[in-house]
């Protein structure tokens, strides 16, 4: 830990029980003011999160017709049905494949782009600006764009792939459909990841890499021994953001391209909640699914911050 000592000093300053320079503390006697200042945020959280979440939990134990004229308490029946439903288990699996692929693809590509731009001497800014553009496109618009590009009848990609001997058809081929939604969703996220990776790369002191180069490490070795570990806080942050994005923010892309098809091959959990609840009017099941999702998000967050974060060197 000797090596950590020099940079541990300024940190210790904040936690010193007896600060050398006593800080001036301002005390507000008004008990109401802090609550008033917090109120807008608290109200928004309550109205748009806590209250609907409580409603979903309540609804998940009920069976009700669409108009709410007949309501029966059914206990865990909605959850048991889910557990026994092959479609739901399929959706879980599809979501896992989708989230991992989107995260890996978007983070992989953006890391490559960030490294390429980081090595550039001139025109870094121009490339950065261009690469950030897709982030400004709304997910639904992005979905429509990809729908056009890959449309089996009028799209350009199926035509090109056809010339190469591949018969692209995401309307009947499950693999093609998954590929399409993964590409469309990952594309949206590349800009965001790219910006963070580039900032992370530029924060790594060049002297470390130069020292390694002098010690005889090649570019690949330098990347894996120096750059990648030092980039890990950025990577960890992006991992969390990307998984959450893939699982919860890709609704518009799915809705605009495949609508969960063919044969449920791209029916991720979030889309299934919407479809069963809003299109199918099966409110009990839809509510039970969103409760499962809530638990899933909570679990993911805990795992990421309690377990994965410990392995990250800040």
Partner 1 sequence: MIRYSTASAVALVASLSAASAETTIEWWHAMGGELGAKLEEIVQGFNDSQDEYRVNPSYKGTYPETMTAAIAAFRANQQPTIVQVFEVGTGTMMAAEGAIVPVHQLMEEHGQGFDKSAFLPQVVGYYTDPEGNMLSMPFNSSTPIVYYNKSVFEKAGLDPEQPPKTWAELEQFSKQIKDSGAASCGFTTQWISWIQTENLSAWHNQPIGTMENGFGGLDARLSLNGPVQVKHWENLKRWSDEGIFKYGGPVGGDNAAPMFYSQECAMIMGSSASRAGVIANAKDFDLGYGMLPYYDDVEGAPQNSIIGGATLWVLSGKSDEEYAAAAAFFDYLSSPEVQADWASFSGYLPITEAAREQMADFYAQNPGADTGINQITLNEPTENSKGLRFGNYVQIRGIIDEEFEQLMSGSKDAQGALDSVVERGDDLLEQFQAQSQ
Q: Kindly tell me which residue out of 68, 165, 216, 218 binds partner 1, with binding defined by CB under 8 A.
A: 68
The answer to whether residues 260 and 271 touch, using CB atoms and an 8 Å cutoff, is: yes
* Residue carrying the six token digits 């007949």: 70
Q: Kindly tell me which residue out of 226, 276, 288, 289 binds partner 1, with binding defined by CB under 8 A.
A: 276
Smallest gap from Cβ 272 to partner 1, in A, equals 11
Query: Which span sits near partner 1 by CB under 8 A: 9-17, 97-105, 168-176, 294-302?
Result: 168-176
Minimum CB distance to partner 1 smaller for 81 or for 128: 81
CB-based burial of residue 243 (10 Å sphere; 0-12 exposed, 13-18 middle, 19+ buried)? middle
Minimum CB distance to partner 1 smaller for 31 or for 153: 153
Smallest gap from Cβ 188 to partner 1, in A, equals 22
Alpha helices (H) along 72-155: 77-83, 86-119, 124-132, 139-150
Question: Does 284 sit near partner 1 (CB under 8 A)?
Answer: yes
Smallest gap from Cβ 274 to partner 1, in A, equals 10
CB-based burial of residue 246 (10 Å sphere; 0-12 exposed, 13-18 middle, 19+ buried)? buried
Smallest gap from Cβ 71 to partner 1, in A, equals 9
The beta-carbon contacts of 127-133 under 8 Å, at least 24 apart in sequence, are 128/194, 128/195, 128/198, 131/190, 131/191, 131/194, 132/191, 132/194, 132/195, 133/191
DSSP label at 72? E
Count of chain residues binding partner 1 (CB under 8 A): 32
- State which of positions 123-162 bind partner 1 (CB under 8 A): 151-154
Q: Kindly tell me which residue out of 141, 281, 298, 305 binds partner 1, with binding defined by CB under 8 A.
A: 281
Query: Which span sits near partner 1 by CB under 8 A: 22-30, 62-70, 107-115, 129-137?
Result: 62-70
Q: Kindly tell me which residue out of 66, 206, 220, 313 binds partner 1, with binding defined by CB under 8 A.
A: 66
Smallest gap from Cβ 270 to partner 1, in A, equals 17
* Residue carrying the six token digits 């600060």: 19
Beta strands (DSSP E) in the chain are 62-64, 71-73
Question: Does 262 sit near partner 1 (CB under 8 A)?
Answer: yes
Cα 297 to Cα 240, 269, 290, 303: the distances in Å are 11, 12, 10, 10
Question: Does 255 sit near partner 1 (CB under 8 A)?
Answer: no
Minimum CB distance to partner 1 smaller for 106 or for 264: 264
Single out the residue of 293, 312, 309, 182 nearest to residue 242, CA to CA.
182
The footprint of partner 1 (CB under 8 A) covers 63-70, 72, 81, 87, 151-154, 171-174, 259, 261-264, 275-276, 278-282, 284
């Amino acid at each position: 830990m000797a090596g950590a000592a020099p940079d541990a000093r300024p940190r210790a300053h904040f936690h010193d029980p007896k600060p050398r320079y006593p800080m001036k503390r301002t005390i507000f006697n008004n008990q109401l003011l802090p609550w008033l200042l917090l109120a807008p945020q608290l109200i928004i959280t309550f109205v748009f999160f806590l209250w609907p979440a409580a409603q979903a939990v309540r609804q998940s134990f009920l069976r009700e017709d669409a108009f709410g004229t007949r309501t029966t308490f059914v206990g865990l029946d909605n959850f048991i049905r889910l557990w026994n439903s092959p479609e739901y288990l399929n959706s879980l699996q599809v979501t896992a494949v989708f989230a991992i692929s989107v995260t890996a693809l978007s983070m992989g590509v953006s890391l490559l782009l960030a490294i390429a731009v980081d090595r550039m001497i001139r025109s870094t800014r121009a490339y950065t600006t261009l690469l950030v553009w897709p982030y400004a496109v709304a997910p639904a618009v992005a979905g429509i764009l990809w729908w056009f590009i890959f449309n089996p009848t009028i799209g350009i990609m199926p035509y090109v792939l056809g010339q190469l001997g591949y018969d692209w058809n995401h309307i009947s081929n499950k693999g093609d459909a998954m590929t399409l939604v993964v590409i469309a969703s990952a594309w949206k996220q590349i800009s965001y990841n790219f910006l963070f990776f580039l900032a992370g790369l530029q924060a790594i002191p060049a002297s470390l890499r130069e020292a390694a180069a002098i010690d005889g490490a090649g570019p690949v070795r330098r990347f894996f021994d120096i750059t990648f570990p030092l980039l890990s806080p950025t990577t960890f942050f992006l991992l969390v953001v990307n998984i959450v994005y893939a699982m919860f923010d890709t609704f518009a892309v799915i809705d605009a391209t495949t609508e969960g098809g063919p044969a449920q091959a791209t029916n991720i959990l979030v889309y299934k909640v919407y479809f069963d609840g809003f299109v199918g009017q099966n409110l009990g099941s839809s509510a039970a699914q969103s409760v499962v999702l809530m638990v899933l998000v909570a679990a993911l967050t805990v795992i990421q911050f309690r377990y994965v974060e410990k392995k990250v060197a800040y």
